[in-house]
């Protein structure tokens, strides 16, 4: 009689543990889905920001090339006097600095997007589902 009671208690404990494990697994899977969603949203935002910065960079580079071309034409024609040349050079230098900053930000965003893709891929691996 005691052996049957002991066996029944063991079976009850085993079932309770199985229920707890299933609940924990469901909870962790929900956390994983939430984390994946957040990472995908962050990745999307980073990619959109990187694209916008690349667009701005292309615009700034185009303006820089146009200004350098116009400066060269004016210098070639002798129309660009010494008084205005420092101002134009200052604008050219300013545009170059902006282009360099935008290129750096673009690289940083591309790296962040790559890291987010890796994190999302890592979360999708079966080994990460273990508590």
Split the chain (131 residues) into runs of 10 and give each run's mean pLDDT. Answer: 93 97 96 91 85 83 81 70 63 77 79 77 57 40
Using alpha carbons only, give the angle 77, 80, 84 rounded to the nearest 5 degrees.
175
What pTM value is reported for the model? Answer: 0.49
Q: What's the pLDDT at 4? A: 94
Q: What's the pLDDT at 61? A: 80
Q: How far apart are CA 109 and CA 117, in angstroms?
A: 12
Q: What's the pLDDT at 68? A: 78
Q: What's the pLDDT at 84? A: 58
Give 6: exposed, middle or buried? Use CB within 10 Å, 0-12, 13-18, 19+: exposed
């Amino acid at each position: 009689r005691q052996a049957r009671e002991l066996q029944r208690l063991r079976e009850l404990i085993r079932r309770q543990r199985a229920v707890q494990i299933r609940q924990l697994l469901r909870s962790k899977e929900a956390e994983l889905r939430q984390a994946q969603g957040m990472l995908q949203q962050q990745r999307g935002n980073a990619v959109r920001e990187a694209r916008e910065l690349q667009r701005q960079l292309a615009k700034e580079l185009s303006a820089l090339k146009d200004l350098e071309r116009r400066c060269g034409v004016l210098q070639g024609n002798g129309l660009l006097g010494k008084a205005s040349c420092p101002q134009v050079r200052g604008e050219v230098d300013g545009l170059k600095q902006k282009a360099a900053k935008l290129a750096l930000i673009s690289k940083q965003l591309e790296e962040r997007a790559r890291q987010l893709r890796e994190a999302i891929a890592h979360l999708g691996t079966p080994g990460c589902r273990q508590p």
